[in-house]
Structure 1
Amino acid sequence: MNDKNTKSDLEGLGLKTLGIIPARYASTRFPAKPLVDIAGKTMIQRVYEQAKKCDLDEVVVATDDVRISTVIEAFGGKVIMTSTEHQSGTDRCAEVAKKLTGYDVIINIQGDEPFIDPTQIALVRSCFTDKNIQLATLIKEIHTDEELFNPNIPKVVINSNQQAIYFSRQPIPYIRNAEKKEDWATSHQFYKHIGIYGYTTATLLAITQLKPSSLELAESLEQLRWLENGYQIQTKVTGIETIAIDTPEDLQKIVF
């Protein structure tokens, strides 16, 4: 994909794009995670620098902690202080969208993926060249049982237009005629969800006013709230594997 062309296409539609990186200090599994040192740079700096390579109209970090804010300002990044009461990165992005007006598309970039590929950010952004798109995200093919049956990896079913039908922590669909579960991954093309979102600003502000839904509470997946309330989520397939740092042990996955 030619990222410059994608940006030009959006500019041709009169659309400005803001990249927001939510970063909170008090992570249950990994406190102070955004500030962990990775080969001489904090994780949040690495995410910020990768996002800046995508040539978005603006990139900001949204945080609730002055320690994170201080680090970002020290390396020359842009930061917006947000409430400590937010339950999700989506809610934090909505607060920033209210403070930084004039942007039509918001890209929610995960703050715990220090090596996110800028082309993935551009791929999400490219969805909004279609003015009918409300929400967008990425998916990736699953080829191993380890991923397929891992409840920490959300799976997604899509329709013929690559719109998400449902997300689940369980493998979906159920492969009824397979003799054993080891055959599932080769019997059907499963997809996992890659946690980067794009929203029109209007949609972002609307979905954060919705109450948690029954499906969301059942699976602990906020995107089910949007589907349950009739929003469409456009997906695009990426072949790039991301490395998310959820626990201190995950740092061992990093190879330079």
Structure 2
Amino acid sequence: MITAANRTFTVVIPARYAASRLPGKPLIEIGGRPLIEHVYRCAAASGAERVIVATDDERIRTACARFGAEAWLTDQAHTSGTERIAEVVARLGLDEQAIVVNLQGDEPLLPAELPAQVAATLAAAPHSAMATLAVKIERAAELYDPAVVKVVCDAQGRALYFSRAPIPWERAQMPQLDDAAVAAGTWWRHLGLYAYRAGFLRRFAELAPAPLERCESLEQLRALWHGFAIEVAYSSQRPGPGVDTPEDVAAVAALLQAELPPAR
């Protein structure tokens, strides 16, 4: 696996208060700590030079201050986490080649090694504007689930396309596909973890949304549409579930219960 040894990167965690399905999601307590604290701890353990929570709400900034996280208030008008991160990058005045990792604020079970891996992947790909990660799809239900984003790559490991549909479509086999027939390495699940060059982030915020992006509701398609390369690395580590629903909160709490020391 690629590691980020001797690489410098910054992690920015976008954290919006008004989530559509779980308002106030970053502040929901899991195991005695707010969700955003679990995500911050992952980032802090990744080897990042700096970790910043980018939020639209003073309540989240205050909660972050309580557990020692650096948190910035950003424009409430932003429509995506990428726009929020771009504001932070502009305010930091980072060098064009500086690497910034987008760690989503609802992934408390993401292994700390993965932000380092995606940062190192981009550092090793000077002609790519972005990098991301993928893991093997192991079940047919996962392949057909539109909430699971699939990715296909070229021979050099760059993304050709991302989709909520099962891609590639194996014409002879797909209608009869079941869990036993899912061949490891044929289909890949995209993980919503990105590394960007700071200069590209400044440009990305100015790019017009793409028709494919609107169709699939996948922001990374904007970069492909406008001709920017996205490097993809394969990870053997599978993150635990993210938090989008009340049921997810209970599932994550159960997984964390045996691992966490008591909250202070």
TM-score normalised to the size of structure 1? 0.92
Matched residue, 2:261: none
Cα deviation for residue 240 of structure 1 reads: 1.8
State the number of aligned residues: 248
Cα deviation for residue 153 of structure 1 reads: 0.8
Matched residue, 2:73: 81
* 1:16-39 superposed Cα distances (whole Å, 9 cap, x missing partner): 421000000000011111001111
Instruction: Check if 1:105 corresponds to 2:99.
Output: yes
Cα deviation for residue 180 of structure 1 reads: 2.7
Matched residue, 2:54: 62
Q: 2:24 aligns with which of 5, 29, 32?
A: 32
Distance of aligned partners of 1:179 and 1:211 in 2 relative to their CA distance in 1, 3 Å threshold: closer
- The 5-angstrom pairing of residues 1-256 of structure 1 reads 3=3, 6-8=4-6, 10=7, 16-102=8-94, 104-127=98-121, 128-178=123-173, 180-183=175-178, 185-186=182-183, 189-242=186-239, 243-254=241-252, 255=255, 256=257
TM-score normalised to the size of structure 2? 0.89
Distance of aligned partners of 1:2 and 1:126 in 2 relative to their CA distance in 1, 3 Å threshold: closer
Identity %: 37
CA distance, structure 2, for counterparts of residue 120 and residue 175 of structure 1: 30
Task: After the TM superposition, list the runs of 4 or more consecutive aligned residues in structure 1 that deviate by more than 3 angstroms.
Answer: none
Q: Which amino acid aligns with 1:28?
A: S
* 1:117-169 superposed Cα distances (whole Å, 9 cap, x missing partner): 11111110111133223100011110101110000111111111111100010
Structure 1 segments unaligned to the other structure (5+ residues): 11-15
Q: Tell me the SS of whatever aligns to 2:177.
A: helix
Give RMSD over aligned pairs.
1.6
Distance of aligned partners of 1:210 and 1:252 in 2 relative to their CA distance in 1, 3 Å threshold: same
Cα deviation for residue 57 of structure 1 reads: 1.0
Q: Which amino acid aligns with 1:79?
A: A
Q: 2:64–2:71: 8 Å Cα contact kept in structure 1? A: yes
Q: Which amino acid aligns with 1:195?
A: G
Structure 2 segments unaligned to the other structure (5+ residues): 258-264
CA distance, structure 1, for counterparts of residue 149 and residue 188 of structure 2: 9
Matched residue, 1:13: none
